[in-house]
Amino acid sequence: AQASTANIRDFAMIKAFYRNYPSSLAAVRAKLNRPLTLSEKILYTHLYDPKNIQEYKRGASYAEFRPDRAGTHDIGGPMAILQFMTSGRDRIALPAAMVCDHLVTANAGARKDILFADQFNKETYDFLRDVSRRYGFDFWPAGSGICHQVFLENYDFPGGMMLVTDSHTPTACGLGMLAIGVGGADLVDALMGTEWELKMPKLIGVKLTGHLQGWASPKDVILKLAGILSTKGGTNCVIEYFGDGADTLSATGKATIGNMGAEVGSTSSVFPYDSHMKSYLQATGRAAVASLADGVAKDLHADPEVLAHPEKFFDRVVEINLSELTPYINGPLSPDAAMPIDKVGETVKSKGLPQNIEVALVGSCTNSSYEDFTRAASIARQCLDKGVKIKTPLIVVPGSVRIRETLKRDGILQTFEKLNATVMTTACGPCIGQWKRHIGDPSQKNTIIESFNRNFAGRNDGNKKTQAFLASPEMVVAMAIEGDMGFNPLKNTVTGANGASFKLAAPTGEELPKKGFATNVKGCVIPDFKKIEIKVSPNAERIRLLTPFAAWDGKDFVDLPLLIKAKGKCTTDHISPGGKWLPYRGNIDRISDNLLERAVNAFNGRSQSVWNVVNKDYETPAKTARLYKNKGIHSVIVGDDNYGEGSSREHAAMEPRYLNVSVVLAKSLARIHESNLKKQGILALTFVNPKDYDKIREKDRISVLGLKELAPGKTVTVVCKHEDGTEDRFQAAHSYNEKQLSWFRAGSALNAMKKAA
Ligand code: F3S
């Protein structure tokens, strides 16, 4: 069966949600007896046990939730489903969708790339299609779109809570949903209908005033905010937007802001329900959902007392006046390297980065709205009108088939094509390293500009030399005209074919298509829950059934070698890179060959070179860890600040676990990664005194003592025996609660769950 919009099962769930929302909220109010932010309304009405409402301390107490729906994709999905299958359940407990979006390589253009992907990824797609049918996921085949755009167009609803195995899940805040990126093991909790646990997040209130002018766009709100908060400033926080300015932004503009909230490490983002969300729901065939949301609209906002005195109710308040906002370009190598447009040229020059822009990319799940593309096209049209040939090749990645067909019908895609743009298929492609980039000399630093969300080293094209900058789609197209980072489209002029110079007019766009969205698009395959046999060959390359990890043996970890002491930024892209590895995300043995491939060894400043205590030589972390595993040796990873930031990929925790890493000890841990480590049974620790990081030496033997007495809030002792016979001792902290400790002891959360069942 095919469906192009949210199906009946979904609507029944949504109706029940809105029917119960007023009474659930009344119960929360009766218990907490204080004004509530919108985030709290959504969080507390989704507590797993509504009879057990209590005040949870933000940033400290764990609470258990029951999300409304779930989702995954073709690289997070396989491992999540493999874990779900070990539970023996027959069907998933809540509505969910599976979107095949990450495994399509952008190379020759939409048509050819999708044909190639269908062949190349057959093993994974067949598996995901079968498990979707049997266990109950709506299945979106490759080429349907990028998950967050598909969810926005079909499933997200105001006031709801959703979990998806992807860090950019908070895109759903464009429709007022509190959506959270999680690892596969967390998703399994939701799929099984058991409690899903989260530390009650702190709240950052962002008050938006005024309204956007000229070149400024919703993307610039989050680019500026990333500069204010930094990549870790949102850790364990929900960012809640409010203020008159919020009401001026389109639903899709809000979605862009929420999408990139992941770049500041936030748990989620949320916007109050408004007329823009209503219009978007109506335009995407969900007028009925909009009417239900209208019925509880007052409570899809923070309480008036909160809005009057935000500083009393949020842990931090940031104010941004949209009327004064200028466009930003952030980069390279970190999304928080924020530069207002008039500082870009001089900054790039002073850092000695290449001025010449080699590729410009628009679209992806971050900026694929009708508004985004019409604004970008308004710049492209000015070039066409004046006969200007843009200097940088342009790549367009529409976020879904529905948006692509709408843009085609309205002549927008053709505008880009007249500028010689290549339109890629509606999939992640260059956003996640699935890009066969044709580049002259990859050993040279080179600059690209993109309207995507993440610009870590190697993220887009797998080349660490690439310096990627983030901007709004209209700014990306404008920068492509001169192909020079020194160009400021707000100030400088462009020369037309007749030799006359002109200044680009500020972009203009339309929030929603006047003729509505195209409806002649194929939708998803609706599951029939048929108990088909899920076949996985033991020799399959892409998918491998899982064997449970061994339980903790009850002993302290003694004299373990150091696998790596990582220096500086070590994101999940550094721990388990994408690109050529993506197809193997369902085969733990194969994917583990990329372990820590991009992490920098603090002792020699190099990647792929760590000390191997068995061979007494330098080898790659993956080879070293595999040798240790084969010899029954366990090891320790030491990390710097915000270790494991970036995506939600649990492979960054499963791979070290599979290769016998017992402990990750870091200055600080990124939220999702920390949760993934705990779920997979690795002991996740942080230095009580971050300076103790400096005490770790390359050939140390590391012990972690006091594990039998491990208890919430209690530190453990770490002993580092140095090669010269001396030793250092210090304390390490953890954030485990009792339940999480049971995961550690059982070897993984799944083991613990099975034991309890
Ligand atoms: Fe895809 Fe994630 Fe980018 S969903 S488009 S890879 S941010």
Q: Is the pLDDT of residue 30 over 60?
A: yes
pLDDT tens string 140-198: 999 999 999 999 999 999 999 999 999 999 999 999 999 999 989 899 999 999 999 99
**Is residue 166 lining ligand 1, measured as CB closer than 6 Å?**
yes
- Contact indicator for 388, 494 with CB cutoff of 8 Å: yes
The SS3 of residue 426 is: coil
Structure tokens at 310: 């935000």
Q: Measured in angstroms, how far is the CA atom of residue 99 from the centroid of ligand 1? A: 12
Say what the pLDDT of residue 4 is. Answer: 44
Q: Is the pLDDT of residue 512 over 70?
A: yes
Confidence of residue 602 (pLDDT cuts 50, 70, 90): very high
Ligand 1 atom at minimum distance from 364 CA: 5
**Is residue 203 lining ligand 1, measured as CB closer than 6 Å?**
no
pLDDT tens string 671-689: 889 999 999 999 999 999 9
Say what the pLDDT of residue 2 is. Answer: 40
The bridge status of strand 357-363 relative to strand 338-340 is unpaired
Query: Within 13 A of 24's CA, how many CA atoms are on the CB side?
Result: 21
Q: Measured in angstroms, how far is the CA atom of residue 336 from the centroid of ligand 1? A: 18
Q: Measured in angstroms, how far is the CA atom of residue 5 from the centroid of ligand 1? A: 21
pTM: 0.91
* Averaged pLDDT of the chain: 95
Ligand 1 atom at minimum distance from 454 CA: 7
Cα dihedral 85→91→97→98 (10° resolution): 30
Ligand 1 atom at minimum distance from 432 CA: 6
**Is residue 470 lining ligand 1, measured as CB closer than 6 Å?**
no
The SS3 of residue 394 is: strand
- Contact indicator for 42, 161 with CB cutoff of 8 Å: yes
Domain boundaries, the chain: 2-324, 328-502, 557-756
**Is residue 365 lining ligand 1, measured as CB closer than 6 Å?**
yes
138: left (phi over 0), alpha (psi -120 to 50) or beta: beta
Residues in contact with 584: Cβ distance below 8 Å, sequence separation at least 6, in sequence order: 541, 542, 590, 591
pLDDT tens string 394-423: 999 999 999 999 999 999 999 999 999 999
**Is residue 148 lining ligand 1, measured as CB closer than 6 Å?**
yes
Query: What's the whole-number mean pLDDT along residues 209-226?
Result: 98
Q: Is the pLDDT of residue 589 over 60?
A: yes
Domains 328-502 and 557-756 in one fold: no
Q: Is the pLDDT of residue 1 over 60?
A: no
The topology (CATH level 3) of 2-324 is Aconitase; domain 3 (3.30.499)
Phi, psi at residue 421, to the nearest 5°? -70, 150
Which residues on neighbouring strands pair with residue 397, listed in sequence order?
363
**Is residue 407 lining ligand 1, measured as CB closer than 6 Å?**
no
Residue with tokens 């005194």: 689
- Contact indicator for 370, 510 with CB cutoff of 8 Å: yes
**Is residue 453 lining ligand 1, measured as CB closer than 6 Å?**
yes
**Is residue 24 lining ligand 1, measured as CB closer than 6 Å?**
no
Q: Is the pLDDT of residue 558 over 60?
A: yes
**Nearest residue (CA) to ligand 1, atom 5:** 428
**Is residue 647 lining ligand 1, measured as CB closer than 6 Å?**
no
Say what the pLDDT of residue 580 is. Answer: 87
Omega within 30 of 0 (cis) for the link into 583: no
Say what the pLDDT of residue 7 is. Answer: 57
CA 32/CA 22 separation, integer angstroms: 15
CA 39/CA 267 separation, integer angstroms: 11
Q: Measured in angstroms, how far is the CA atom of residue 428 from the centroid of ligand 1? A: 5
Best residue among 72, 364, 453 to mutate for probing ligand 1, ranked by most atoms within 8 Å of CB: 364
Q: Is the pLDDT of residue 45 over 50?
A: yes
Q: Measured in angstroms, how far is the CA atom of residue 124 from the centroid of ligand 1? A: 18
**Nearest residue (CA) to ligand 1, atom 1:** 428
Say what the pLDDT of residue 539 is. Answer: 86
CA 567/CA 643 separation, integer angstroms: 10
- Contact indicator for 341, 327 with CB cutoff of 8 Å: yes
Say what the pLDDT of residue 440 is. Answer: 85
**Is residue 182 lining ligand 1, measured as CB closer than 6 Å?**
no
Best residue among 101, 434, 435, 585 to mutate for probing ligand 1, ranked by most atoms within 8 Å of CB: 101
Say what the pLDDT of residue 391 is. Answer: 97
Best residue among 362, 369, 428, 435 to mutate for probing ligand 1, ranked by most atoms within 8 Å of CB: 428
The topology (CATH level 3) of 557-756 is Aconitase; domain 4 (3.20.19)
Q: What percent of the chain has pLDDT over 90?
A: 91
Q: Measured in angstroms, how far is the CA atom of residue 430 from the centroid of ligand 1? A: 9
Say what the pLDDT of residue 87 is. Answer: 83
Ligand 1 atom at minimum distance from 259 CA: 7
pLDDT tens string 276-306: 999 999 999 999 999 999 999 999 999 999 9
Say what the pLDDT of residue 88 is. Answer: 84
| CATH number assigned to the domain with residue range 328-502, chosen from the 4 options 3.40.50.300, 3.30.499.10, 3.40.190.10, 1.20.1090.10 | 3.30.499.10
Say what the pLDDT of residue 8 is. Answer: 57
Q: Is the pLDDT of residue 386 over 50?
A: yes
**Is residue 564 lining ligand 1, measured as CB closer than 6 Å?**
no
Q: Which residues are known catalytic residues?
A: 101-102, 166, 454, 647, 649
Q: Is the pLDDT of residue 32 over 70?
A: yes
Q: Is the pLDDT of residue 5 over 50?
A: no
Query: What's the whole-number mean pLDDT along residues 524-551?
Result: 92
Say what the pLDDT of residue 9 is. Answer: 67
Omega within 30 of 0 (cis) for the link into 95: no
CA 147 to chain centre: 11
Q: Is the pLDDT of residue 691 over 70?
A: yes
Residue type at 612 in one-letter notation:
N
- Contact indicator for 387, 496 with CB cutoff of 8 Å: yes
Residue with tokens 């002549």: 411
